[in-house]
Amino acid sequence: MKAESSSFTEVQAIWANELWAGRKSPIESNSAMRWLGGIDMALMDSPASFWVVRSSTAGAPVIVGVLSGHFGGLIDSVRSYRTRGLWVHSDFRGQGVARNLMQAAVEQAKHENCEILWTFPRQSSMPAYEKLGFIKVGDWIGVNDPGAGEFGPNCYARKTL
């Protein structure tokens, strides 16, 4: 199951119904979140990429995984690429879907001359990110502060390309 380019509209539908069901804040194509905190609205102007993995095991092809990414700012003067919204259908976990999606993001990051990939995963999904080579940086955010995020706790994680 290979990752293929997709659109914000297609991925947003999965995010709204699966990954971020009930989300209060609007689901946008990009995130203004900066590495290790803060906001940089200029990140909203970076072109975002979207990928899906489809399976046709049950007839018509259905989306079983999604991911997006965009320029994530500079980290120690090095260009970074932010991934967000990784979701894999529970029936397809452990089958390489996340790895294929992340490989598409790595290829795009390299195409954009980025040397670092970073993300802000949920605590429950961090083991999957570690299998993909990400390293947790800092503490969990939202452990004692429920207002820190709608779907936390989360942490910053990164990998060097």
Q: Give the global pTM.
A: 0.94
Q: Provide the pLDDT confidence category of residue 56 given band limits of 50, 70 and 90.
A: confident
Domains recognised in the chain with CATH numbers: 3-160 (3.40.630.30)
88-91's contacts with Cβ under 8 Å and 24+ in sequence apart are 88/53, 88/64, 89/18, 89/63, 89/64, 89/65, 91/64
pLDDT mean over 133-139: 96
For the chain, what percent of residues have pLDDT higher than 70?
Answer: 96
